[in-house]
């Protein structure tokens, strides 16, 4: 292995700066003592303390966390089941097509997903609010769970399942005592991924939410149109922290499962 060329280091630094510069700037300004977003006036945590007094923002944060938890739970359950059903042990006609159909929402434009769900809810006469967001988020995060779990299932040694059956375990017991413990890291990683995707989403939530169910990204977006305040920087920093932790957790779990 030869050492990377100095130019390669420079290219890497440039790339990383391009990716993370704006975010670092946001994080830095969230600790700015000044109310003016563009003028640095010394270090302060006053905007973080002030967040708790901002009722609507706290409400939105709670809605977001609840939606993320509920939709991630639903997506984890359905995504894991989909992964198990589509797992390659038993071949059946249409399996590649069905696999494609499960993965398609990953590349579907969010506007389309949001619009079609809106049409569905309106058509069925379902009042829009908290639960419609949960269902909408579960439909588009499910495929990510399925991908992560399926990748782990593919690495699972089939002989382990045969061995469990051979030692007297009925199929349900094989799943409970061998399959599930071994894919658990991937299932949890899928949950964390679904959780962050739900927390981040603005477009789909905007389509399917109703009165009283405003998520944090929706709240931030509407406030930014009135001007960026240091409070927004502060809550965004918290959001970045939460997402980073979840993604880190997911990747650690995925790596450990290998």
Binding footprint of other proteins on the chain (CB under 8 A):
157, 159-160, 162-170, 173, 177-178, 181-182
Q: How far is the CB of 163 from other proteins (least distance, A)?
A: 4
For residue 232, count CB atoms less than 10 angstroms from its CB and return exposed for 0-12, middle for 13-18, buried for 19 or more: buried
> Which ranges of 87-129 does DSSP label H, i.e. alpha helix?
95-103, 110-124
Nearer to other proteins, 96 or 171 (CB): 171
- CB-wise, 107 or 159, nearer to other proteins? 159
- Cα gap 180→109, rounded to integer Å: 33
- Angle in degrees, 0-180, between the axes of helices 216-224 and 55-86, rounded to the nearest 10: 130
Q: Please report which residue ranges of 34-109 form alpha helices under DSSP H.
A: 46-51, 55-86, 95-103
Nearer to other proteins by Cβ, of 120 and 169: the residue is: 169
Smallest distance from other proteins to CB 168, Å? 4
Closest CA to 57 of 198, 203, 223: 223
CB 72 within 8 A of CB 141: yes
Q: Which is nearer to other proteins, 165 or 240 (CB)?
A: 165
Provide the minimum distance between the beta carbon of 144 and other proteins in the complex, in angstroms, as a whole number. 25
In angstroms, what is the minimal distance from the CB of 162 to other proteins? Answer: 6
User: Please, which residue, 82 or 164, has the CB nearer to other proteins?
Assistant: 164
- Token pair of 84, please? 């198990």
Please check whether residue 232 is in contact with residue 220, taking contact to mean a CB–CB distance below 8 angstroms.
yes
Nearer to other proteins, 151 or 165 (CB): 165
What residues contact 64, with CB distance under 8 A and at least 6 apart?
Answer: 198, 199, 215, 216, 217
CB of 82 to other proteins, least distance (A): 23
- Report the nearest approach of other proteins to the CB of residue 151 (Å): 17
Specify whether the CB–CB gap between 76 and 88 falls below 8 A. Answer: no
């Amino acid at each position: 292995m030869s050492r990377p060329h100095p130019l390669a280091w420079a290219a890497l630094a440039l790339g990383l700066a391009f990716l993370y510069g704006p975010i670092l700037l946001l994080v830095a300004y969230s600790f700015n003592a000044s109310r003016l977003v563009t003028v640095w006036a010394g270090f302060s945590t006053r905007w973080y303390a002030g967040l708790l007094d901002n009722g609507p923002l706290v409400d939105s944060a709670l809605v977001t966390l609840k939606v993320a938890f509920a939709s991630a739970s639903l997506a984890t359950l359905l995504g894991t089941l989909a992964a198990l059903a589509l797992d390659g042990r038993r071949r059946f006609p249409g399996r590649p097509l069905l696999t494609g159909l499960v993965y398609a929402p990953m590349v579907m434009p969010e506007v389309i997903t949001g619009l079609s769900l809106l049409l569905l809810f309106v058509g069925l006469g379902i009042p829009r609010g908290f639960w419609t967001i949960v269902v909408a988020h579960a439909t588009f995060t499910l495929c990510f769970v399925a991908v992560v779990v399926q990748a782990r299932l593919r690495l699972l040694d089939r002989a382990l399942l045969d061995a469990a059956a051979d030692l007297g375990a009925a199929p349900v017991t094989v799943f409970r005592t061998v399959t599930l413990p071994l894919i658990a890291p991937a299932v949890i990683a899928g949950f964390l991924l679904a959780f962050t995707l739900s927390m981040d989403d603005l477009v789909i939530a905007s389509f399917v939410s109703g009165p009283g169910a405003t998520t944090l990204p929706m709240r931030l977006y509407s406030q930014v149109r009135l001007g960026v305040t240091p409070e927004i920087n502060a809550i965004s920093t918290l959001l970045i922290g939460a997402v980073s932790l979840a993604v880190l957790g997911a990747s650690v779990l995925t790596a450990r499962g290998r």
